[in-house]
Structure 1
Amino acid sequence: MKGRNTDPENDLLLIEKYQEKGDTAILSNLFIKYNPLILGVCMKYLKDLELSKDLSMEIYEKLITELQTQKIENFKSWLYVIVKNQCLMHLRKEKKKQADLEEFEKNSVNLMENQTDWHPFNDRQEGIQRMILQQCLKKLSEEQKVSINMFYLDRKTYEDISLSMKIEIKAVKSFLQNGRRNLKICLERKMKRMTTI
Structure 2
Amino acid sequence: MALWLTGKKKYEDQDDQQLINSFRQKGDKKALGILFERYSHLVFGVCMKYLKNEDDSKDATLNIFEKLMEDLKRFEVVKFNFWIHSVARNYCLMQLRSRKAMTYVDDENGPGLDAFMETHQSDHLSAVDNKEHQLQLMEEGIKHLIEEQRICIELFYLKKYCYQDVAEIAGFSLNEVKSFIQNGKRNLKIYMLKNSHEVTDKH
Q: TM-score, normalised by structure 2?
A: 0.42
The structure with the larger Rg is 1
More helix, by proportion: 1
Q: TM-score, normalised by structure 1?
A: 0.44
